[in-house]
Amino acid sequence: MNEHNPLTALDRPNSYIGRALPRPNLTRLLQGRGQYVSDMSLPRMAHVAFVRSPYAHARINGIDATEAKAMPGVVAVVTGKELAEVCTPWVGVLSHLKGLKSAPQHAIAVDRACWQGEAVCAVIAETRAAAEDAAERVMVDYEELEPVTDMMTALDSETPLIHPELGDNLAFERNLDVGEVDKAFAEADAVVEAEFVFGRHTGVTLEPRAVIGDWNPGEERLTVYQGTQAPHMMQNIIAKHLGLEEAQVRVVCKDVGGSFGIKVHVYPDEMAVVALSKLLRRPVKYVADRIESFNTDIHARDHRCKAKIAVKADGLITGFAIDDVTGIGPYSMYPRTSAIEANQVVNLVGGQYTNQNYRARTRVVFQNKNVTCQYRAVGHPIACSITEGLVDLAAREIGMDPAAMRRRNLIPDDAYPCAAASGLKFESLSHHASLDKLLSMMDYDGLRAEQAELRKRGIYRGIGLATFIEVTNPSAAFYGVGGARISSQDGVAIRLEATGRIIVQTSITEQGQGSEAITAQVAAHALGVPMERVRVILGDTDNTPYGGGTWASRAAGIGGEAAWQAGKALRTNILAVAASILQADADALDIVDAKVVDKGTDVERMPLEEVARIAYFRPDTLPPGFQPELMAVRHFVPREYPFAFTNGIQASWLEVDPDTGFVTLLKHWCVEDCGTIINPQLVDEQIRGGIVQGIGPALYEHCLYDERGQLTNASMADYLVPMASEMPDIEVGHVVSPTMESELGAKGAGEAGTAGAPAAVVNAVNDALAPFDVRIVEIPMTPEVILRALGKI
């Protein structure tokens, strides 16, 4: 696998690493027999509907729930003030994001609503319909306040302060100045500037957020069924704010209908639900409806960035400079904060290139809109779009082919380890190999010729390239060092059952990525057993080792390595027992296909179930003092590098109708390098799904707010997501540069598609419209945006 730590088990019958195997959990999902939180029902369970602020900013002068409480089926009506008695507020800051500030946020607004959709009162009833009926009768005396909606004027002195106690509307600012930026721009042969605009968008998980709180006063324990990516983080936070010991809280995460970063945060309404369960001493369920999802699921992006690039006539990039502003809503989201995306933009711009002159500023401002926070590929689509947009504009300016421009500037494949201008450390990337592979996969030269030919016939097609880097396998540098109790390590416990079956408990979670599958593959491979023998348990704080969960492209790289190490440890333990039974040298034995065999000849000595039988039922036959340990636990976290960067390149091929501004996607390619590939099918599908999630905001997705802070397209009919008809087929290729931090060598693959897709599509549209000398640096590129750029309207 890699040189400094060679694996010995690569060509065994149970070699599952690297193979495209169907996921074990698909059959039940295909039969409609999954169990999502929204499917669950518990005895005496009540349902919550929230009264939500119709105003972006309003003082709550009073709440009259008299009529609502008298409605049929109503269990209780609880205001923010009442709930604050059982749930303390929080502040979403991290100490390593210096200067980041936010205000205390309550589960339900107490005296002021700060965005349209913020919960101001909870109605609990026997059915959701009854709760909604009563919610309509809750009389809230609002006093509308002036909303802050335009992030570009949020810092102006005449703009009202959302949290006067903070002194201004600035949540966070970061400045970076590396190398000789002024000199680089002064001495450049060409400087290209643009103001990039990134619309606000959101995740639209198909299953909305769902949670059931089940406080059992008899046990003094709270069981929380939640669609979350991070059960242990939730356990800690729920305990902390409800005044419980962590041991009193169990978080169970069953099937989750999509997450993408949406479900890794602490939502005030979900905190309210678990607090209500404690208050009412019965199970309480809340499933956001789609309108609530649009208004309260975290949003993302919403950046405006002035950026420029300095280049020499030969294509060498000599400088990048950016000045970024982003609006995050009225609070920094808890506990991961809403400053990470902007921070990542600063970190990532230009990171694929050799240039070492870089200046960046980002300002993160409060506004009276829904909160933004980490969503798939945090910051990457922005950084990539800025970087790759500038590179294409510069290539056009100096008359250089975009692929050649990239080849001229990408960090050479033999230059590692090295660092980006921003300080990011790269262990081993493969930009040039990836570029070469991509150009060959897409027949770049052939496509260019086809493009030229079609252009003569009035058909405008474009090729857009986008190289990218992607943060994966984050260490404690992401959150832990900032004081958040968010685990960057993961644990796996693996045991041999008496029947020879294998149980694996892992702290990573499954929302469809294939966590269960890759855990089973790695464990079976490490042990030498058929994969069907392995059952994986995850998503339950009572029944898994402590760990981070599944987010930031970490499950395979970190949880996978923990499974590998745990599997190896159990294998050693099993062989020790077998050696004892067989009076053999453990080093001369091996496990193949769930049988202990003689190493080298694979002659069977005894099946695993026989080892287990003796260990569990006839330990009296074992030598005195020898204790079989048929369970092993291992944990893993990367220590040397803060992040295992991956890299890749995408290409989009599309057609633009210059009369209508409509874009037709024809084909998309991606070559990526996530290190060791555990299951190529799952990696490919992460890439494809990620790409389409990046195409969405490039062409369709946009949370549209009016000047009063009203989200005006909060429905699935009005907020457009990519659908089957318009999406292209996507070809995926790989280059493999394993990380040396782990024996497995796997890095993450979940976000790479989303990181690069918008830039590829924007560059392709600009390339298609190059004959019209059009330049579009705004997404989503609606027909209207394109028609305007073309001067048609």
Partner 1 sequence: MKAAAFDYVRPASVAEALELLRRHGDAAKLISGGQSLVPALNLRLLAPEILIDLGGLDLRSIAMDGGVLRIGALARHVDLLNSALVAEHAPLLALAMPHIAHPAIRNRGTIGGNLAHADPASELPAVMQALDAAIVVEGADGTRRVDARDFFTGIYETVLAADEMIVGVEIPVAEAGRRFFFHEFSRRSGDYAIVGLAAAATVAGGTASDVRLCYFAVGDKATLAEGAGAALSAGPMSVERVAAAQAALAEDLSPQDDQQGSAATRMHLARVVLARATAALFDDPALAGRTAA
Partner 2 sequence: MTASVSIKLTVNGETVTADVPPRMHLADFLRERLSLTGTHIGCEHGVCGACTVRLDGDIVRGCLVLAVQANGAAVETVEGVSDSGEIADLQEAFRQRNALQCGYCTPGMLLTAQELLAREETPDRETIREHMSGNYCRCTGYQAIVDAVETTARARAAART
Contacting positions for partner 2 (CB under 8 A): 22-23, 26-27, 29-36, 38-39, 41, 72, 129, 203-208, 255-260, 289-290, 511-514, 681-682, 685, 688-693, 715-717, 721-725, 727, 729-730, 753
Cα 428 to Cα 420: distance, rounded to the nearest angstrom:
12
Closest distance between partner 2 and the C-beta of residue 258, in Å?
Answer: 5
DSSP code for 586: G
CB atoms within 10 A of CB 4: 6
Site for partner 1 in 88-127 (CB under 8 A): 127
Q: Of the two residues 41 and 627, which places its CB atom closer to partner 2 in the complex? A: 41
Asked whether the CA dihedral 627, 546, 640, 528 is positive or negative, the reply is positive
Helix (H, G, I), strand (E, B) or coil at 602: coil
Asked whether the CA dihedral 586, 591, 594, 597 is positive or negative, the reply is negative
Q: Of the two residues 211 and 230, which places its CB atom closer to partner 1 in the complex? A: 211
Site for partner 1 in 258-317 (CB under 8 A): 289-291
Cα 403 to Cα 408: distance, rounded to the nearest angstrom:
9
Cα 551 to Cα 389: distance, rounded to the nearest angstrom:
28
* Range in contact with partner 1 (rule: CB under 8 A) among 161-169, 622-630, 632-640, 715-723: 715-723
Closest distance between partner 2 and the C-beta of residue 661, in Å?
Answer: 21
Cα 133 to Cα 426: distance, rounded to the nearest angstrom:
56
* Range in contact with partner 1 (rule: CB under 8 A) among 52-60, 91-99, 163-171, 708-716: 708-716
Decide if residue 715 touches partner 1 (CB under 8 A).
Answer: yes
From the list partner 1, partner 2, none, which binds 207 (C-beta under 5 to 8 Å, kind-based)? partner 2
Site for partner 1 in 774-793 (CB under 8 A): 782-784, 787, 790, 792-793
Site for partner 1 in 382-411 (CB under 8 A): none
Q: Of the two residues 364 and 517, which places its CB atom closer to partner 2 in the complex? A: 517
Tokens linked to 200: 């606000």
Q: Of the two residues 38 and 169, which places its CB atom closer to partner 2 in the complex? A: 38
Cα 401 to Cα 392: distance, rounded to the nearest angstrom:
9
DSSP collapsed to 3 states, 296-317: HCCEEEEEEEEEEEEECCCCCE
Site for partner 1 in 441-460 (CB under 8 A): 455, 458, 460
From the list partner 2, partner 1, none, which binds 460 (C-beta under 5 to 8 Å, kind-based)? partner 1
Asked whether the CA dihedral 753, 758, 760, 764 is positive or negative, the reply is positive
Closest distance between partner 2 and the C-beta of residue 229, in Å?
Answer: 12
Closest distance between partner 1 and the C-beta of residue 793, in Å?
Answer: 4
Q: Which of 86, 69, 182 is nearest to 131 (CA)?
A: 69
Closest distance between partner 2 and the C-beta of residue 717, in Å?
Answer: 5
- Which amino acid makes up residue 210? A
Site for partner 1 in 744-773 (CB under 8 A): 771-772
Tokens linked to 556: 């395979």
From the list partner 2, partner 1, none, which binds 704 (C-beta under 5 to 8 Å, kind-based)? partner 1
| Torsion angle, alpha carbons of 753, 759, 762, 768, to 10 | -90
Angle at 790 between CA 789 and CA 793, to 5 degrees: 85
- Could you tell me which residues are beta bridge partners of residue 633? 493
How far does Cα 708 stand from its chain's mean position? 30
Q: Of the two residues 368 and 511, which places its CB atom closer to partner 2 in the complex? A: 511
Site map (CB under 8 A) of partner 1, residues 637-666, x = contact:
---------------------xxxxx----
Closest distance between partner 2 and the C-beta of residue 690, in Å?
Answer: 8
In 443-521, which ranges are E strands? 460-470, 490-496, 502-506
Decide if residue 128 touches partner 1 (CB under 8 A).
Answer: yes
CA contacts within 13 A on the Cβ side of 187: 10
Q: Which of 314, 477, 388, 510 is nearest to 756 (CA)?
A: 388
Closest distance between partner 1 and the C-beta of residue 26, in Å?
Answer: 24
Backbone angles phi, psi at 505, to 5 degrees: -110, 125
Residues contacting partner 1: total by CB under 8 A: 37
Q: Which of 164, 103, 172 is nearest to 365 (CA)?
A: 172
Which residues does 157 contact at the CB level (< 8 Å), separation at least 6? none
Cα 22 to Cα 139: distance, rounded to the nearest angstrom:
53
- Give the helix ranges, DSSP H, for 14-140: 26-30, 66-69, 80-83, 128-135
Q: Which residue has the tokens 């202990």?
A: 596
Q: Of the two residues 287 and 339, which places its CB atom closer to partner 1 in the complex? A: 287
From the list partner 1, partner 2, none, which binds 626 (C-beta under 5 to 8 Å, kind-based)? none
From the list partner 2, partner 1, none, which binds 640 (C-beta under 5 to 8 Å, kind-based)? none
Q: Which residues of 192-215 are buried (b: 16+ CB within 10 A; e: fewer)?
A: bebebbbbbbbbbbebbbbbbbbb
CB 498 within 8 A of CB 613: yes
DSSP code for 772: G
Decide if residue 500 touches partner 1 (CB under 8 A).
Answer: no
Closest distance between partner 1 and the C-beta of residue 132, in Å?
Answer: 5
Tokens linked to 99: 């200067």
Q: Which of 220, 572, 723, 729 binds partner 1 (CB under 8 A)?
A: 723
Decide if residue 157 touches partner 1 (CB under 8 A).
Answer: no
Decide if residue 726 touches partner 1 (CB under 8 A).
Answer: yes
Closest distance between partner 2 and the C-beta of residue 685, in Å?
Answer: 5
Cα 210 to Cα 285: distance, rounded to the nearest angstrom:
8
Cα 281 to Cα 214: distance, rounded to the nearest angstrom:
8
Closest distance between partner 2 and the C-beta of residue 517, in Å?
Answer: 9
Distance between terminal CA atoms of the chain? 58
Closest distance between partner 2 and the C-beta of residue 136, in Å?
Answer: 14
Decide if residue 34 touches partner 1 (CB under 8 A).
Answer: no
Q: Which of 150, 713, 736, 775 binds partner 1 (CB under 8 A)?
A: 713
Q: Of the two residues 255 and 673, which places its CB atom closer to partner 2 in the complex? A: 255
By DSSP bridging, strand 46-52 and strand 284-287 are: parallel
Closest distance between partner 1 and the C-beta of residue 727, in Å?
Answer: 10
From the list partner 2, partner 1, none, which binds 658 (C-beta under 5 to 8 Å, kind-based)? partner 1
From the list partner 1, partner 2, none, which binds 792 (C-beta under 5 to 8 Å, kind-based)? partner 1
From the list partner 2, partner 1, none, which binds 173 (C-beta under 5 to 8 Å, kind-based)? none
Q: Of the two residues 399 and 624, which places its CB atom closer to partner 1 in the complex? A: 399
Q: Of the two residues 448 and 667, which places its CB atom closer to partner 2 in the complex? A: 667
- Could you tell me which residues are beta bridge partners of residue 426? 418
Closest distance between partner 1 and the C-beta of residue 123, in Å?
Answer: 12
Judged on CB neighbours under 10 Å (0-12, 13-18, 19+), 620 is exposed
Closest distance between partner 1 and the C-beta of residue 702, in Å?
Answer: 8
From the list partner 1, partner 2, none, which binds 713 (C-beta under 5 to 8 Å, kind-based)? partner 1
Closest distance between partner 1 and the C-beta of residue 505, in Å?
Answer: 37
* Range in contact with partner 1 (rule: CB under 8 A) among 51-59, 128-136, 420-428, 472-480: 128-136
Which residues does 22 contact at the CB level (< 8 Å), separation at least 6? 517
Closest distance between partner 2 and the C-beta of residue 28, in Å?
Answer: 8
From the list partner 1, partner 2, none, which binds 666 (C-beta under 5 to 8 Å, kind-based)? none
Q: Of the two residues 122 and 735, which places its CB atom closer to partner 1 in the complex? A: 122
Angle at 232 between CA 226 and CA 235, to 5 degrees: 65
Task: Give residues in contact with partner 1 (CB under 8 A).
Answer: 127-129, 132-133, 136, 289-291, 455, 458, 460, 658-662, 700, 704, 712-713, 715, 717-718, 720, 723, 725-726, 771-772, 782-784, 787, 790, 792-793
